[in-house]
Structure 1
Amino acid sequence: MNVSNTEPKLQNNSISTLRTNRHYLTIFLTFLLFCSAVSHSQDIPPKNEANIPKTSKEDTLTVNLKPIVDEMNEQAQDTVKTDSIKPPKETLTDVVDYYGEDYVLLNRKENRVYMYNKAYIIYGDMRIDAGLIILDYNKNEVYAKGIDSGGVYSQRPIFVQGANRVEPDSIRYNFNSEKALVYNSRTEQNGFNVIAEVTKKVNDSVVYLRNVKFTTSKNIDDPEYYFYTRKAKFVPKKKIVTGLTNMYIADVPTPIGLPFAYFPLTEDRTSGFIIPSFGENNSRGFFFQNGGYYFAINDYLDFSLLGDYYTNGSYALRGESSYKLKYKYTGSVSARYEKLVQEERGFPGFDERANYNIRWSHNQDAKSNPSSRFSASVNLGSSQYFRESINQVNNASALVNNLSSNISYAKSFEGDPQVNFTLAATQTLNTQTQEISMSLPNLNASVSRIYPFAPKDGAKKGIIQNINFQYDLSAENRINTADSLFFKKEMFNTAQIGAQHSIPLTTNFKIFKFLSASAGTTYRETWLLKTTRQRYDKNAFDGEGGIVRDTVSGFESYRTYNFQTSLGTTLYGLFNFGKDKKIQAIRHVARPSISYNINPSFDRYYDEFIVPRTAEETADRTVQYSRFENTLYGPPGKTYSSNIGLSLSNTFEAKVRDRDTLAKEPKKVILLNNLNFSTAYNLAGDSLQWSPLRFTGSIPIVKRLDFNFSGTMDPYALDNNNNKIDVFNINNGGSLFRLTNANVSVNYSFSSKDFEGGKKDVDKIENETFRNGGRPDDLFGEATNIYDGQIYNNDSAEEDEDKTNVEWYNYKIPWDVRFAYTVTYGNMRRENEISSQSFMVSTNMELAPRWTVGVSSGYDFKNNGVTLTQFRFQRDLESWQMSFNWTPIGSINTAWYFFIGIKSSMLSDIKYDKRRENDKRL
C-alpha cells in the first residue's frame, strides 16, 4: 500500500485576491453571453436540405474582439499568481508490506500500525520478522521485539537487509535516515559469529558495536571461547576494527589480549602474512617456523612463501602454489630447500648439508581435449630429504625407497589407421643406493593395427582375413648417475641414446570351433649412437695387462626377428550336489594353452679376441663379446632357442544357498581365483631343458580379504656344492619338484561401517604421504600437516550436528582396522629359510564422541623386533582441535608432535604447537 500525507489546504490570501477583480469578471461574463447569442442565431442546415441555395447578400456585421481580450489578459496577468508552495515529498518511496497473524491494528489517532504474532514488515530490500512490530508514521520508524509470555522470550526479531542478517532482542529502524538501533544482536559474517549488546547501524557501510563478542563457535548462546571488546567498528564483508580486545575461554578471561584488533572479512581470498610458530631446539637453538606471506593472485592461482630460521644458522625456504581452471586442468607446485647445520662450527660434531625437494602435479580434464593430454607427476630431490628435513613430521614418507617423476604429452591423430605418440620425461631415485635413472626425452609412437585382407562389410573370418600388422617406435635418451652428480655436467657422460622399431605381424583363427589358434612374427630393428669395443692390452693397468673397454660414438644398428604360435581352449566342469544342499554345485573353469617360439641365433653381431694365458693357465683364452653390450636395449641373443610353452589357468566357483529365503537364485562364491601354472621346454637345449614351474593364485577368504601366493618349483636336483645338475630331482631321491622360492601376502581393511551397511570409507589418495611416493593409507603411520595444523578438514555443519546429537554413552563405537602380512621363503641353494616375514597393522577408534585414538605398528619376525610405531590422539574441541602424535619406536624417526588451535582458517594463527625432532644421530 502507498501512504501519503498530502491533504489539500485553502489559503485566505487567494480568496481576497479574487474579490478585488470582480468588475473585470462582470465585463467578461457579459461578453461571453453576447457571443453565445450571436453564434446560436445562425442554424446549421440539416443534411437533407443541403441543396437549398445560399443568399447572395453577405452579413455586414463585423466585431473586432482582439483589443478587448488583450486588455483583459494584461490586467489578469498582474492579479492571478501561481501557487509557490510545492507539495511535500513522500517519506516512504517504496511499497510497505506488513502482516500479523493475530491482528493488524491501525491507530488513526497515534498514526501507528500494530502487528502481533509472527509479524513481518517488508520495505525495499529490508525485512523484519518479530513477535510484535510497530510502524510509526509520525517518526517514520519501525520498532520490533519478541513476545514475553510466562517468562519465556520468544519470536525474537530477525532483521535482514541484503546479505546481512541480524537476530537481536529488539530493534528500531528509521526509514528516512536508514539508521537502526539494535539491542543484543547476533549475526554471522564469513564464519564469524558477532554478539553485541548495542548495535548502531549508521548506513549500509558502517556499523558501530558496543560490548561485543567475536567467536567461530557454532553455539552462539554459550560459546566455548570468544574475543571480548567494548567498542568496535564493523564494515560488512570488509573488516572489523576493535579497541582493547581480550580472549575468554569458558567465560574466563585469559592473559591473551591486544590493545586493538583487526579482523578481515572477505568472501574472496586475500593476500596476507602467515604468523610463524616459535620454539627451541637443543642442537640448533631458538627458531621460528612456517612464517611467510600468502599471495592470492587471482581466482585461478595462488602462491605461498614460507620459511624457517634457527639461531645456529640453519634455515629453510618453501614455495607452494595451486592452480585450477574449471573444465581444463588442475595442479599444484611446491619447491623446498633446507640448509642444515648441526652443532656449532669448530666443534667435532659440526655438520653442514643442503637438501631440496621439488613436487609438481598436473592433471588435465579428459573432456577439455580428447585427442591430446598433458600430465605431470614430479617428485624429485635429495635422497635424504624426508629423513633429515627439519620441518617434516611424516614417518611414512621417510620409509619411501623410490622417488618417481613423470611428465608426458600424448597426442592422437584420428583416422584409419590411427596414429598415437607420447613424449615423456621420467626420473627415478633410489633413496637407499642414491642412484638416479633418467629418461629425457622418451618418445613412443605407434600406428594402430591394419587388416589388409579384411572385408569391407561384415566380420573377419579365417586365417587370411585376420592377418594384421602394426608399427611401434620407441626412442630414448637414458642417463644413469648418482645423487651427488645430479644437475652436474658429469651426469651426461653416461648418457645412452637409441631407438627401436617393431613391426609385429599376427593372425588368429579357429580350429574345430573349440580351439583358438594364433600365429605371428615380429621384426625389430635397433639403432644406437654409442657402442663398446673390447680388446686385450698387455700395457694396460700399469703394465700388468688386461681387457680394455672403449666407448665408440657413431651410428650402429642390428636387426632381429622371431616366430611364435599358440593354441588354447576353455574347459568347463560342473559338479552338482543337489538344490537341497547348502553347497549346490561347484564349477571348474580351466584354460589350457600351448605355445611354440623360435628365436634365431644372431652370432654375427659378436666379435672375438684372444687373451694370453697366465702362469696358472695352460692355453690362451678366447673371449667373445658383442659391441652392443651395456647399451640401451642390450645385445641380440646369440643362442638359438626353440621353446614349447605350457600354461594352465584355473578358477573354482561354488553355488551356495542364499540365507535370504526370498532369493530365487543361489549366491555365487569364488573359491579359488586364477590358479595359474606355467613352464617351458627348450627343444634346442642340450641340458636343463625344462624351465622351473611357476605358480600364482588368490583365495578370497571374505570380502576384501584375499590370500595371495606365488612361487617357483624346479624339477632338477642339486649336487653336493648346491649347483643345479641335469638330473631330475625325483630321480635323485627327492620329490617331483623342489620348491625354490615362495611368497604369501595378505591385505585386509574393514571398519564398523561394513557391519552397519553404511557407506564405506574411501582412502584419500591426495594426501601428503601419497604425494611423497608412499602409501595412501596409514599402515606406516599418518602424516601430520604441520604447515596449518588442520586435523578435521571436513568441519561441516552437518557433522557438527551429528556429533552434538550423539549420546555420550553409545554402544556404537566407530572403528577401522587395516593390516598386511607377508612372508618370503627361499631355497635356491638349500637355504631353506624365511628370508623376510613381517606383520603390519593400523587401527583407529572413536572411544567417545570427538575422541579418536589410533596406532600403527608392526613386527618383523625375521629380525625379531617391533617396526616403526606411531600413536595418535585427536580431540575435536568443537571450535578448537587438538592432536598428539608420538613415534616412540623406529629405526629412522622417533619424535612427538603436539598441536592445539582454532579450526577456522581465519583464526588459524591462534595456535600452540610443540614437537621433538627425530634424533638424526641414532
Structure 2
Amino acid sequence: MGFQKPSHTFTKIPLKGLRTNSLKILFTLSFTVFINTLGYAQDIPPKQKPIKPQETPKEVIKDTTTVSVDSILNPLTNIKEVDSIKNDSLKPKEFLEDVVKYSADGYVSLNKKENKIYLYDKAKITYQDLEITSGIIVIDNNTGLIYAGRLKDSTGYSQAPVFTQAQNVVEPDSIIFNKDTKKAIIFNSKTEQDGFNIYAPITKRENDSTIFMKDARFTTSENLDDPEYQFISNKIKLVPGKKIVVGPTYMEIYGVPTPIALPFAYFPLTKEQKSGIIFPTFGEDTGSDRGYFIQNGGYYFAISDYLDLAVLGDYYTNGSYGLRVESNYAKRYKFNGNVAIRYENLLTSERAFPDFTQNTIYNIRWSHSQDAKSNPNSRFSASVNLGSSQFFRQSINQNNIINSQNNTLASSVSYSKTFTGEPQVNVNLTATHSQNTQTETINLTLPTLQMSVGRVFPFAPKVGSKKGIIQNINLQYNSRAEYRISTTDSIFGTSAMFDDALAGMQHSIPITTNFKVFNYFSVSAGTNFQENWTLNTIRRQFDQNTQAVVTTDVNGFDSFRTYNFNANIGTTLYGMFNFNKKNKNAHIQAIRHVVRPSLSYTVQPAFDQFYETYDVIDANGLTTDQVEYTRFERSIFGSPGNRYSSSIGLDIGNNIEAKVLSKNDTIDDAEPRKISLINNLNFNTSYDLAADSLNFSPVRMSGGLKFLKDKMSVNFSATLDPYALDNNNNKVNKFNINNGGSLFRMTSANINMSYSLSNDTFKRTGKDPVDRDKAEAIRANGRTDDLFGVTEDFTSRIYTEEDAERQKEKEKNLEYYNYKIPWNLRLAYAVNYSNTRREDQISSHSLMFSGDVELSPKWSVGASSGYDFLNNGFTFTQFRFERDLLSWRMNFTWVPFSTLSSWNFFVGIKSNFLKDLKYEQRRQPDQRLGN
C-alpha cells in the first residue's frame, strides 16, 4: 500500500528559438532575465527580527485545511512543545497503552533509520488483548501499523497469520493492523463464529466489535476449501458474539448456484435467548382430504432468562387448524418446569360432503420439579398429562404417532409440608388423574389430603435403646380425606361429572410393638382402629308395585368404626453350598440360598350393627325373602365387614445368589463376583379359621430372574387355587386333588421378559446402547425405550458438542468399522394365561422388538415392530433411515400399515442457527380408517 502525495502544478512557458547574428544582443537579453529573476521590484524587504518568547501566551491558530487520507493509515501527529504554550495540568495520553511484546524463531531486526522492526519465521507479537502469529511481521513505529504475512518458499506458502483479539480468531493470508486505532484490513480471512465458518477476500475491521466483509461466503461446513454448501453475499456486517447481518444472499451446493436466495438475513450470535419467528413446514394432507397445510409455524418469545413462550399453529385449506402454546421456566436452585397446551379443530373432507366430520381434541401437559435443597420441609411437584382420549391418535401433528400407542394418561400434582418437632407432623395435598384411552373412562381425585403424626413411644426410656414388648409399644395417627370423581370423556369438564362424586375421610390409629424371641425370631403385634366419615350413603327398599328394588342416594354426614388385631413372627435362614472345596479355581465358587419365612395371624370382627334388612314381598303380599345390606355401600373407603374372620397367613421369600469367577481369573488374583440367580421368589397363602367353607385362599407365586450380565430380566407370577369347580364352573368346597385333578389349579399366570443387547454386550467391558431422547416419552407417560418407535419431530432436534464428538470418533475408527459394525436390539415379550372358570386360554401373547444398525459412520437404519401371536398379526411397525450428510442430515420414517400408515421425509442443516433451512414432506395418517 502506498501514499498518495499532493500534486503540484508548474507553469510551463514555451520558448521559441530567436534567430540573430548578434552575440551581444543575446548576451544582453540573458543578463536581463537573470536580473529579473533575482531582483526585487521597487521595495527592498525589511530584515526579519528574531521572535522572542512572550510573557503572556497567545492563542495558537491552527490551519483548518486537511488532506483526506484513509483513516486506517493516518500517521500519528507529532506535537512539539512550544515555550510560549503553558503546559496543561493533565498529562498527555501516551501513544502506547501497554507494552508491545514480540519474538521470532528466525530473527528480530531493529532498523533505526526506518524506525521499523522486522520479525521473521514463527513471528509473534502481543499487545493488550491482541495476538498475531505469522511467518513475517513488520512493525512500523512511524505510522503505528503492523504488517503480517506468510512465508514463501519453493513449496509454496506457509505460516499464515493468525489474528486473535479477545475471543475472536481470524486466519487470513495477510493483515495490516493499526495498533493505536485497533483497526485492520485483512485479506482472505477465515473466521468462525458459533458454528459459522466465514471466508472473505477483503475484511475491514473497525474495532474489536464490528467487522465488514466484501464478497464473503459463510457455511457451517468444516471444510472451507470444498464445502457441501455455502451462502454467497456481497456484503456482511459481523459483530462478534452478537449478530451477523448480510445483504443479498444466494446459496450454492457443491459450487452449483441454486435459486434459494434472500434479500437480507439476520443471525443472532448472542448466548442469550432472542425472540424470533419459527419457520413452518409446508405440505399436503392427502390422507384425510384436508388439503394443503402450514404446520408448526409461529413465534418464540424470549420473555426473560427464567421464562420463555412459544406459540405455534397449524392451518389446513379445508378449515382445520391447531394451536399450541409451550413454555419453559426455571429458577436456579429453586425449581424448573414446562407447560404445553394443544388444541386442534379437525375437519375431514369438505363441508356438505357425505364423509365430512368435525372433531375437537386437546391435550394439556405440565411438568414441575423443585430442587430438594431449596426448601427441605416443603415440596411441590407436578406431572400432568390429560386431555381427549383420542388426541394422540387423531392429532394432525406427525410427531404424536409414537404417543398414540399409550393406553393410559396419568397426572399428579402434590404439595407436602413437614412440621419438625416431637412428634413430627406431615401434611400432603395431592390431585390425581387417571384416564384409559381405550374405554375413555376418567378417574379424578380433587384433592386428596393426607396427614400423619410421627410414631410416639410412650413407654420408651429417656436414655438408652428400647427393649422388650412394653418399651417398643408405639402409636401413630393417620388421616386421609378424598374427593373422588368417576366420569367419561363425553361429560368431562361439565357439571354432570360431579353428579356421582364421592367424598369422605378416614382416620386410623395403629398401635404396634415388636420384640425378639430366642434371639432368632422377630415378633410384631398390633391393633388398628379406624373411623370412616362419608357424605354418601344409600337407603334401599323393595317396591311391591313394581316388584323391584329401589336404591336412593342419601347425601349427608355419616360414619362407622372398625378395628382389627394382628401378629407376625418371622426369621431368616441362610444356606451355603461351596463348590471350591475340591477345585479352588472352579467357575462357580458357591451358591447361597436365603429364606425368609413368616407366619401371621389376623382377627377381623364382624360389625353387624352397620347392616340393615329389607323384605321382598310378592304380588300376594307375602314376604318371600329378607335381604341384608349396609347403607355404607357407596362409602369412598369401603364398607364395614359383617363376617367374623380369624385367619393364619404364611409367606415365604427366597433369594438365590452365586459367587462366580471369570474364566481368566483365579482365586488368588481376583475376588469372586456375586450374581443373582432367582430374585424374590415369593409364595403366600392364608387359612381362615372362622370360615365355614373355602378356608384356604389361593397360593400366589411371584419371582424374577436375570441372565447375561443382567441384560435379560424375566418376571413371572401365578395364582394356584386348591379348590375344584363344579359343572357350572363355580368354585366348590372340595379340593381339586380329591376331584380327580392336580394339587393346585392354575387360575392365572403371566411372564414378562425384556432383553437389551448390542455389539458390545458380550465383551468384557460391554456397554449398553446409547439411549435416545426420553423427555417426550416421559411427558406423555410412554415407554422410555423405542419399542413403539421414535419421535418424528426432526426440526426441533438440537445437536450438541457431544454429538459432534461422537461422529468424529466414528470417523476416526473408520478403518476398523467393517469389523465391528455398531448395532443394538431391544426385546420385550409378554404372555398372560387365564383359567379362572375353565377358560384355559391365553388372553394376550406378544413380542415387541426394536433395533438399529449403523451400516457406516454416516448410514443408520432401524425398525420398531412386534408380533401378536394371539391375533396372528404385526403390531405397530415403524422403519427409519438416517443419513449423515456432513453439515446436513436426512431422516426418513415409514409406518407401512395400520390405521396410522404414514411416512415423513426430512432434509435439513444440523446447525441450530440454520435448522429452519429444511425440506420436509410427509403423508399424514388417514383418520377415516380409524373411525
Same fold, judged at TM 0.5 (above): yes
Q: How much does 1:429 deviate?
A: 1.3
Q: Secondary structure at the match of 2:119?
A: strand
Alignment check: 8 A CA contact 2:755 2:828 kept:
yes
1:712 is matched by which residue type in structure 2? Answer: T
Residue in structure 2 matching 1:601, options 581, 587, 606: 606
Residue number in structure 2 paired with 1:308: 314
Residue number in structure 2 paired with 1:696: 702
Alignment check: 8 A CA contact 2:769 2:824 kept:
no
Alignment check: 8 A CA contact 1:870 1:889 kept:
no
Q: How much does 1:753 deviate?
A: 3.5
> For residues 710-789 of structure 1, what are the structure 2 equivalents within 5 Å?
710-756=717-763, 757=765, 759-761=767-769, 763=771, 766-785=774-793, 788-789=795-796
Residue number in structure 1 paired with 2:100: 96
* Separation in structure 2 between the aligned mates of residue 166 and residue 631 of structure 1, nearest angstrom: 77
1:855 is matched by which residue type in structure 2? Answer: A
Residue number in structure 2 paired with 1:708: 715
- Judging changes above 3 Å, is the alpha-carbon distance between structure 1 residues 700 and 644 closer, same or farther for their aligned structure 2 residues? same
1:563 is matched by which residue type in structure 2? Answer: F
- Judging changes above 3 Å, is the alpha-carbon distance between structure 1 residues 588 and 216 closer, same or farther for their aligned structure 2 residues? same
1:382 is matched by which residue type in structure 2? Answer: S
Residue number in structure 2 paired with 1:111: 115
Q: How much does 1:205 deviate?
A: 4.2
Residue in structure 2 matching 1:870, options 853, 871, 878: 878
Q: Secondary structure at the match of 2:308?
A: strand
Residue number in structure 1 paired with 2:9: none
Unaligned runs of 5+ in 1: 1-11, 19-80
Residue in structure 2 matching 1:571, options 549, 570, 573: 573
Which moves more between the two structures, 375-384 or 833-842? 833-842
Q: How much does 1:784 deviate?
A: 1.5
Alignment check: 8 A CA contact 1:145 1:170 kept:
yes
Q: How much does 1:423 deviate?
A: 0.7
Residue in structure 2 matching 1:849, options 844, 847, 857: 857
Say whether residues 1:884 and 2:887 are aligned partners: no
* Separation in structure 2 between the aligned mates of residue 618 and residue 778 of structure 1, nearest angstrom: 67
- Judging changes above 3 Å, is the alpha-carbon distance between structure 1 residues 732 and 101 closer, same or farther for their aligned structure 2 residues? same
Deviations 1:360-393 (A, max 9, x none): 0000000111111000001111111000000143
* Separation in structure 1 between the aligned mates of residue 834 and residue 502 of structure 2, nearest angstrom: 36
Deviations 1:150-202 (A, max 9, x none): 32422211112223221111100123443211011011123211111111123
Q: How much does 1:840 deviate?
A: 0.7
> For residues 420-819 of structure 1, what are the structure 2 equivalents within 5 Å?
420-539=426-545, 544-577=546-579, 578-580=581-583, 581-613=586-618, 620-659=624-663, 660-661=665-666, 662-702=668-708, 703-756=710-763, 757=765, 759-761=767-769, 763=771, 766-785=774-793, 788-790=795-797, 792=799, 796-807=803-814, 809-819=817-827
* Separation in structure 2 between the aligned mates of residue 104 and residue 14 of structure 1, nearest angstrom: 50
Alignment check: 8 A CA contact 2:282 2:293 kept:
yes
Q: Secondary structure at the match of 2:928?
A: coil
Q: Secondary structure at the match of 1:802?
A: helix
> For residues 832-843 of structure 1, what are the structure 2 equivalents within 5 Å?
832-843=840-851
- Judging changes above 3 Å, is the alpha-carbon distance between structure 1 residues 142 and 13 closer, same or farther for their aligned structure 2 residues? farther
Alignment check: 8 A CA contact 1:190 1:266 kept:
no
Task: Return the TM-score normalized by structure 1.
Answer: 0.88
Task: Return the TM-score normalized by structure 2.
Answer: 0.87
* Separation in structure 2 between the aligned mates of residue 300 and residue 362 of structure 1, nearest angstrom: 14
Residue number in structure 2 paired with 1:27: none
1:912 is matched by which residue type in structure 2? Answer: Y
Deviations 1:763-782 (A, max 9, x none): 46742122111101101111
Residue number in structure 1 paired with 2:248: 244
Deviations 1:285-326 (A, max 9, x none): 111111111001111111010001111110000000001111
**Number of equivalenced pairs:** 842
Q: How much does 1:579 deviate?
A: 4.2
Residue number in structure 2 paired with 1:325: 331
Q: Secondary structure at the match of 2:577?
A: strand
Residue number in structure 2 paired with 1:76: none
Residue number in structure 2 paired with 1:375: 381
* Separation in structure 2 between the aligned mates of residue 879 and residue 802 of structure 1, nearest angstrom: 16
* Separation in structure 1 between the aligned mates of residue 791 and residue 740 of structure 2, nearest angstrom: 55
Q: How much does 1:410 deviate?
A: 0.6
- Judging changes above 3 Å, is the alpha-carbon distance between structure 1 residues 747 and 277 closer, same or farther for their aligned structure 2 residues? same
Residue number in structure 1 paired with 2:921: 914
Flag as ranges the 4+ runs of structure 1 deviating above 6 A.
12-16, 85-89
* Separation in structure 1 between the aligned mates of residue 133 and residue 587 of structure 2, nearest angstrom: 67
* Separation in structure 1 between the aligned mates of residue 311 and residue 445 of structure 2, nearest angstrom: 31
Q: Secondary structure at the match of 1:393?
A: helix
Say whether residues 1:825 and 2:833 are aligned partners: yes
Say whether residues 1:155 and 2:162 are aligned partners: no
Q: Secondary structure at the match of 2:609?
A: helix
- Judging changes above 3 Å, is the alpha-carbon distance between structure 1 residues 558 and 804 closer, same or farther for their aligned structure 2 residues? same
Q: How much does 1:797 deviate?
A: 4.2
Residue number in structure 1 paired with 2:84: 83
1:900 is matched by which residue type in structure 2? Answer: V
Q: Secondary structure at the match of 1:498?
A: strand
* Separation in structure 1 between the aligned mates of residue 654 and residue 466 of structure 2, nearest angstrom: 30
Deviations 1:27-61 (A, max 9, x none): xxxxxxxxxxxxxxxxxxxxxxxxxxxxxxxxxxx
Residue number in structure 2 paired with 1:902: 909
Deviations 1:391-438 (A, max 9, x none): 143333101111111110011111121111101111111111111111
Give the fraction of aligned pairs with identical amino acids, expressed as a percent: 54
Alignment check: 8 A CA contact 1:190 1:267 kept:
no
Say whether residues 1:407 and 2:409 are aligned partners: no
- Judging changes above 3 Å, is the alpha-carbon distance between structure 1 residues 614 and 875 closer, same or farther for their aligned structure 2 residues? farther
Deviations 1:670-727 (A, max 9, x none): 3222221111111111111111111112222222312221101111112222221111
Residue number in structure 2 paired with 1:124: 128
Q: Secondary structure at the match of 2:499?
A: helix
Deviations 1:220-253 (A, max 9, x none): 3332111012222333333333333111111221
Root mean square deviation, CA, Å: 2.3
Unaligned runs of 5+ in 2: 1-46, 54-81
* Separation in structure 2 between the aligned mates of residue 109 and residue 374 of structure 1, nearest angstrom: 78
* Separation in structure 2 between the aligned mates of residue 729 and residue 14 of structure 1, nearest angstrom: 144
Say whether residues 1:168 and 2:169 are aligned partners: no
Alignment check: 8 A CA contact 2:544 2:619 kept:
no
